[in-house]
Structure 1
Amino acid sequence: MTTKPLIDYFEKHLPLSEEERSIVGNYFKERRVKRRQFILQEGDICKHNTFIVEGCFRMYLVDQKGREHNLQFAVEHWWIGDIGSFHSEEPSKLHIEALENSIILQIKKEDQLKLFVDFPKFNRIFRVLAENGMVSLQNRILQNISSTAEERYLDFLDRYPYFFNRISNVQIASYLGVTPEFLSTIRKKISKS
């Protein structure tokens, strides 16, 4: 199993003991996911917290009119999951789909809780991850209510340059809250300036 990227990730936050490094494989399960395969669909309960070893995913909602609204993209060494469904154990309103063939490491809720009890350092690491996620979400909400679509697009380009060969312009437009046509207009305007 490929746990080294996850161990390296954890150690960016706090150094692990040899025992802590060795038990990661006991709690996380490796899974290979094909392009366009779902690891979560609307109506399912999110039973795993997912770390991406290799690949690219998107998390999105389909509204009553059938329009997709991308909430998150995630690539190597990022986490993805419906936190609300994971913690409440209620059905999700979201889909999580692989955009590429991928390798992931997943931990079940009960295993994550056991990991926190048995090895408290992981509880501290996951708390930092949750705090960082809240900061990112807060910044995204502030940007969405205070920036123009062009400013949001330029920020997306600057912040996430590694997404551009991996996700479609239609998906980027959805993430930014604009139509693909409007995004095309923004891109043409930027290329002329």
Structure 2
Amino acid sequence: MYQPGRFMSLNMQFSGFEYFRDYITKYSTTPLTNKQFELLSAAFQPKFLKKKQYFLQEGEVCNYYGFITKGAMRQYRVDEGGMERIVHLSIENWWVGDRESWVMLTPSLYNIDAWEDTELLLIKKADTLKLVQEIPACNEMVRKMDEMHAIAAQKRANASISLSADERYIDFAYHYPQIVKRFPQHIIASYLGITKETLSRVLRRVIKK
């Protein structure tokens, strides 16, 4: 569960709200008025997360969702052998949180931490529902986000069962080049469901091509 003491507050000059306004404008055709933007700003909490600091730990309920304005984060499980299994990677203009725990209010199966020093905006579920009801642009944005999330999940599932390791990496690097640049090979390999050694061989083959 989120506790204020686990985060460092940002100063009043925090510019993340403007990044978020641009994000809404990008994913919504409905205009956002200044008054609506004030309501949005009041609902979000700007926070700073240090590198390796947890946003969420296994067993906690995900009471907050975060919009990243600067930095990089990872979501993962630790298996019985102590290995980290990456399920999601996030950078600027991406959302972070455990959707199942967020919706169902159940203990999370995952850990989420900052891979880099990270600035983000946090929002509670109740505030999200209120904004969706009161601000058309937010409603449109959330619907598009849900659609994109469903499509991405389907593509990832299809890639895991139908693409070779080489094809999975090439497809991922093509669509998410910034993720590849920001995270080391062992993290990318875990996300793709292959070993670091396999990824090294894939990279050598890709370079030769």
**Is residue 174 of structure 1 aligned with residue 190 of structure 2?**
yes
Any gaps of 5 or more consecutive residues in structure 1?
Answer: none
**Could you report, residue by residue, the CA deviation over 1:101-154 in whole angstroms, capped at 9, with x for unpaired residues?**
110001011111222233243123212111111111111111111100110011
**Could you report, residue by residue, the CA deviation over 1:53-80 in whole angstroms, capped at 9, with x for unpaired residues?**
0000111111122111111111111111
Partner Cα distance (1:156, 1:9) in 2:
23
Greater Cα offset, 164-173 or 141-150: 164-173
Alignment of 1:61-100 (within 5 A): 61-100=77-116
Partner Cα distance (1:121, 1:151) in 2:
37
Indicate the SS of the match to 2:121. strand
**Is residue 7 of structure 1 aligned with residue 17 of structure 2?**
no
* Aligned CA-pair RMSD: 1.2
Alignment of 1:134-149 (within 5 A): 134-149=150-165
CA contact (8 A) 1:7 1:21 kept: yes
Partner Cα distance (2:179, 2:102) in 1:
26
The aligned counterpart of 1:160 is: 176
Residue type at the aligned position of 2:160: N
Indicate the SS of the match to 2:39. helix
TM-score (norm 1): 0.95
Residue type at the aligned position of 1:40: L
CA contact (8 A) 1:7 1:24 kept: no
CA contact (8 A) 2:73 2:112 kept: yes
Indicate the SS of the match to 2:148. helix
CA contact (8 A) 2:69 2:119 kept: yes
Partner Cα distance (1:122, 1:190) in 2:
41
Residue type at the aligned position of 2:51: R
CA contact (8 A) 1:60 1:96 kept: yes
Indicate the SS of the match to 2:181. coil
The aligned counterpart of 1:42 is: 58
Shift of 1:90: 0.3
The aligned counterpart of 2:129 is: 113
TM-score (norm 2): 0.88
Any gaps of 5 or more consecutive residues in structure 2?
Answer: 1-13
Partner Cα distance (2:147, 2:179) in 1:
24
Partner Cα distance (2:161, 2:116) in 1:
31
Greater Cα offset, 155-164 or 22-31: 155-164
Q: How many residues align?
A: 193
The aligned counterpart of 1:125 is: 141
The 4+ residue runs of structure 1 with deviation greater than 3 A are: none
**Is residue 183 of structure 1 aligned with residue 199 of structure 2?**
yes
